[in-house]
Amino acid sequence: MGINTNFEFTTSKKNTLRRIILTVGILFLICISNICVGVFSQQVSLIVLGLSLSITIAYCLTIFFAESNKNQYPDYLFQYGYTKFESLFILVHFFLSLIIALITIHLKIISNISTSLIKIDKLLFLLGFVFLSSIIIIFLKKVFDRNLSFSTKNRELIYNFIVWKNTLIMFFVSFMFISIAILFYQADKAEFLIYLDKVLAGILSLYLFLIPISNIKFAIDILIDKPASDEIQFNILSVVVDNIKNYCEFRRLQVRSAGRLLLVEIEVVLPYDFTIEQKYELEKRFDMQIKDIYSNSITRLYVIPCNKDCSENNPLDCPIRKLNK
């Protein structure tokens, strides 16, 4: 009988992916609505606000592809792809922010879209529209988190909270600026509204660069599998040295970051007839001692059997056994 190597999606996973796509669809409608309202009301800030949702949409699609590819045969229980996908998202975020900034400059300087004063009734409509959009986005954020197949605390997502938080901050800032615009209108200072809209558009465009600029180096390090710093490696190596009496020979240490996790791989030589239980006890000892230094670490011990040189005639001559008596 042949082995089926095709991993079948469970019903719950299919439902999760459908809900993510539904979230993307609703975000896309809000995005288009904001752009259309911005064009018709000649408000550059609303156009920028709508375009900024393309970044949230891009992040949701990132998680969709990570979620759909996280299980690979035969390691059904091992999670793949989240950190790499999120790192790619940071690069996409940067280029999308750059495009939005260029569009903003075009609308503010070249096309000079915002040239007419907006009336109070339109301002009240825009205030309600931004408020309603914010409520829908809050609801979508909760649905997005709840319907992922694993809880957020078990999933090493770095940017999930940050992306949604920044989106809501931008809508909140827009809501506050429109409220201030209404106050300007009531105070017969309507001529300042054009400048207020352009200032808001500029602030939103610059704010979009906050995530990629502060995280782009980290994302590139993840994509090129850059090892951990020398300080981290030396600290972990000190643990290996402290346990020198528990193994025959140290061969290799590899430490790298995977999102918030620190992945530690240690390779040592053990007596050829050590049991799996003895190997596991040593791995557990390494893991506990390294976790005392880096609580986010995951340690894996790889073992090579010795060549029997030191105990060829009598297994009791093994120096590791003598030290552990």
Task: Specify whether 95 is located in the same domain as 142.
Answer: yes
What's the Cα-to-Cα distance from 278 to each of 95, 229, 242, 285, rounded to whole Å? 52, 31, 18, 11
Across 220-226, average pLDDT: 70
Task: Specify whether 146 is located in the same domain as 212.
Answer: yes
Task: Specify whether 141 is located in the same domain as 250.
Answer: no
Is residue 283 domain-resident? yes
How does pLDDT run across 288-304, given as a tens digit for each residue?
Answer: 888 888 888 888 888 88
Of 278, 275, 276, 271, the closest CA to residue 305 belongs to: 271
Tell me how long the chain is: 325
Task: Specify whether 167 is located in the same domain as 279.
Answer: no
How does pLDDT run across 123-156, given as a tens digit for each residue?
Answer: 788 888 889 999 999 998 888 877 664 444 445 5
Task: Specify whether 290 is located in the same domain as 234.
Answer: yes
Task: Specify whether 94 is located in the same domain as 204.
Answer: yes
Task: Specify whether 79 is located in the same domain as 193.
Answer: yes
Q: What sign for the dihedral angle of Cα 42, 48, 51, 57?
A: negative
How does pLDDT run across 51-80, given as a tens digit for each residue?
Answer: 989 999 998 888 888 777 665 444 444 444
Is residue 1 domain-resident? no
Is residue 263 domain-resident? yes
Q: How far apart are CA 243 and CA 265, in angstroms?
A: 15
Across 90-102, average pLDDT: 87
- pLDDT score of 191: 64
Identify the band that residue 32 occupies on the pLDDT scale cut at 50, 70 and 90: very high
Q: How far apart are CA 239 and CA 293, in angstroms?
A: 10
310 or 174, greater pLDDT: 174
pLDDT above 70: percentage of residues in the chain: 74
113 or 120, greater pLDDT: 120
Is residue 6 domain-resident? no
* Whether the predicted pLDDT of 198 surpasses 70: yes
* Assigned token pair, 210: 């906050």
Q: Is the pTM of this model over 0.75?
A: no
What's the total number of domains in the chain? 2
Q: How far apart are CA 34 and CA 127, in angstroms?
A: 12
- pLDDT score of 75: 42
- pLDDT score of 8: 47
Identify the band that residue 97 occupies on the pLDDT scale cut at 50, 70 and 90: confident
The alpha carbon of residue 179 and the mean position of all alpha carbons in its chain are separated, in whole angstroms, by 33
Q: Which residue range(s) make up the domain with 303?
A: 230-323
How does pLDDT run across 147-192, given as a tens digit for each residue?
Answer: 664 444 445 567 778 888 889 998 998 888 888 878 777 766 666 6
What's the Cα-to-Cα distance from 54 to each of 25, 42, 92, 226, 243, rounded to whole Å? 11, 20, 11, 30, 52
The last residue of one of the domains, among 169, 200, 223, is: 223
- Please state, rounded to an integer, the average pLDDT across all residues of the chain: 76
Lowest-confidence segment of 109-118, 197-206, 211-220 by average pLDDT: 109-118
* Assigned token pair, 300: 């894996």
